[in-house]
Structure formats: C-alpha cells, structure tokens
Amino acid sequence: MMLGACPNNTSIVYEYMSNRNLEHHLSRKSGAPPLPWYVRFRICFEVTAALLFLHSLPENISHGDLNLKNIFLDQSFISKIGNVGIAKLFYRLSNIGTVEPLASIDHESDAHALGITMLRLLTGLPADQVVGFVGEALDNGQFDNILDVSAGEWPLVEAMELACLSLELVELRVRNQDDWMEKMMETLEKIRATVDERMANENQVFPQPPRGSEQSVPSYFLCPITQVPFYLSMN
C-alpha cells in the first residue's frame, strides 16, 4: 500500500487502488457494482493471510483498526489492508493524554475485527447489527435468508461454515486467536478450491464499473497528511 515518503513535501505516497475500498462497494456508493460472492470469499482469504503474516513477525505487529474502509481493492479486486499501525500511534497518544482513550490493540482485537468483516461480507449488514442477526438466523435455521442477495447465488454450506467460524472469533470463544485464524485459513483454502471450480463451471467474471465511470490513474496524488495535491510529471 505505502510506496514511500517524500520528506521535502511532508507527504506519503500510496499505491493507487482503482476500486477504492470495501465500504465503497458494500454501501454501493456512486453506483459501485456489488461484489459477487466469489470475490468476497477471496477477500476473506487474502485479509486473513495478511493478518496472520503481521502477527507472525518478530515485531508482533497488530493492525488495530481493521474495517471495511481500511481494506482496499486494486484493478483486479485483489484486496490489500492499509493504515497498519496507525491505530497504535493513537493508542500511545491516548496513554499520555494527547487524544481520547482507545481500546487495547492486540491480536485479539484484530481477530474480533476480522470476524466482523467476514460477517459483513456475507450479509452486507452494518457492523453494529451483524452479529445479532447472524446468530439469530443460524439458531432459527434461516441463515440463507440473511445472505446478501446482491452477491449472487451463494454456496450455502461454505457460507455457513465461514459464518460460524467468524462468530466464534467475534465472541472470543477461543483461547488462542492466532491458532483459530490458522484454522480459518485452512477452511478458506478449502472454500477457495470449491469457489475456483464453480467459477470455472459457470464462467463467472469480475464486476465491472458502471458505464462512463471508468477510472484511470490520476496525474496527481493527495497527501493524506497535508491534504495538498502534488502533480506528477507524465514525461
């Protein structure tokens, strides 16, 4: 995501993500096309792999603020998580009274956020409602009624398995979140094999932007710190 920094201009340069973020697509802002179920499954796999990588580093890195706005999509709808470590900076500032206090930032908070993210991808529901609605739907045998219909015809067995694992992460019913995330990865790898097979059989394609809204890489970038545009040479 972050390509580098320019100290002379007090700016940070990020990779250009033409399909914006997950929040943009789930909320259908600016006519954004809905994400098909197979793209959502792949995003779940990619985000889980990215978090496990961060957690495995010697520095013991936690993201701290995983949400739909911090999961970006490139031209091929490959997901990448951004703003890693920003929340930890604010957490440190909160401890010295510089900003409002924040909740703890650790692997457990990442696991909880991952569970919420996956449930939202399955259902399209808001973060403050999704856990209760999914739990109730599973208990009542009506899980198929809560899946986001804009994503197409979900493979029900795989979707339900992912929902159950996500709920366990959210409700912190596991002692070791990283071990549980590794189990999630194993499940997602099996799901991905099923998804790939079904996509091949049904000739599924990636979503396309609305006609007339094609995006190209802009000739400038907006510094996230100063909010000042810097124009790039096209020579």
- Domain that residue 45 falls in: 9-228
Residue 58 in this model has a pLDDT that exceeds 70: yes
pLDDT of residue 195: 76
Instruction: Mention every residue, 6+ apart, whose C-beta is less than 8 A from residue 113.
Output: 63, 65, 66, 67
Residue 66 forms part of a structural domain: yes
pTM above 0.95, yes or no: no
Residue 235 forms part of a structural domain: no
Please write the tens of the pLDDT for every residue from 129-150. 999 999 999 999 999 999 999 9
**Helix/strand/coil for 233:** coil
In angstroms, the first-to-last Cα distance of the chain is: 24
Averaged pLDDT for residues 32-49: 90
Q: What is the dihedral of CA 13, 19, 21, 22, to 10 degrees?
A: -160
Residue 1 forms part of a structural domain: no
Instruction: Mention every residue, 6+ apart, whose C-beta is less than 8 A from residue 140.
Output: none
Residue 2 forms part of a structural domain: no
Averaged pLDDT for residues 151-162: 92
Averaged pLDDT for residues 93-106: 46
Lookup: tokens for 73:
């999509």
CATH code where residue 168 lies? 1.10.510.10
196 annotated active-site: no
Are the C-beta atoms of residues 182 and 45 closer than 8 Å to each other? Answer: no
Residue 3 forms part of a structural domain: no
Which of 83-92, 120-129, 148-157, 202-211 is least confident? 83-92
Q: CA 125 to CA 143: how far, in whole Å?
A: 13
Summary mean pLDDT of the chain: 76
Instruction: Mention every residue, 6+ apart, whose C-beta is less than 8 A from residue 44.
Output: 117, 118, 121, 162, 188
Could you write out the DSSP letters of every residue in 168-220? HHHTT-SS-HHHHHHHHHHHHHHHHHHHHHHHHHHT-----PPTT------SE
Give how many domains the chain has, as a whole number. Answer: 1
pLDDT of residue 133: 96
Name which of 88, 107, 90 is nearest 99 in CA terms. Answer: 90
